[in-house]
Structure 1
Amino acid sequence: MNPKQQHKRTLVEISKRLLSELKLGCVDDILKATNKANYRRLFSSNGVIILTQDFDRILNELEAAASKILGSKAANRKTIQDAAMASCRQVSAGCSNKSTAEELVETILSEAGREYTHVCECYVARFTNSFQETVAVGPVRLLPLENVLGETKLGDNKRITLEIENPKGGLFIRGAERPFIATRSAWAVEVSATKANVPVEARWQIEVAISLMRLSSDHWKGHYPLLGEIEPLPTVRTEHRDLTVTYDNESLAVGGSEVPHWYEIDSAVAADLRNPKVQENARHIFKPKKQSLAERIGNGLGWMTRGRQALDGAQRVLSFATSLESLLSSSDKGAPVVQTICRHAAVILTNDVEDRFGIFYDLKKLYELRSAIVHTGSRSVLKHEAESIQGYAEAIYKTVLQRCDLSMTQDRFSENLRKASHGASWLH
Structure 2
Amino acid sequence: MTALALRQVVADALAEVGASVVHLRMPRGKPRTTTWLGIEHGFGIRHYATGRNVYIVQTRMAGRMRTVTIGSAAVITRHQATMVARRVLAYAQVGLDPAADRKRIRSAPRFDDFLKEYWDRWSPKWKPSTYETQTQYRALYLDRAFSGVFIDELNEAHVTSWFADLNNRTGPGAANRTLGILAAMLNKAESWGYRLENTNPCRSVRPNRRRECERFLSRAELERLGQVLAEERVAEDSVRASAATAVTLLLLTGCRLGEVLGLQWQDVKGNRLLLRDSKTGPRTVWLGNEARALIATLPKRKDVPWLFWNAALRKPIRNIHHQWYGLLEHAALTGVRLHDLRHTFASHAAMNKETLPMIGRLLGHAKTASTARYAHLDDEHVLKAAEQIGSAIYAMLDCP
Normalising by structure 1, report the TM-score. 0.26
- Greater relative contact order: 1 or 2 (C-alpha under 8 angstroms, separation 6 or more)? 1
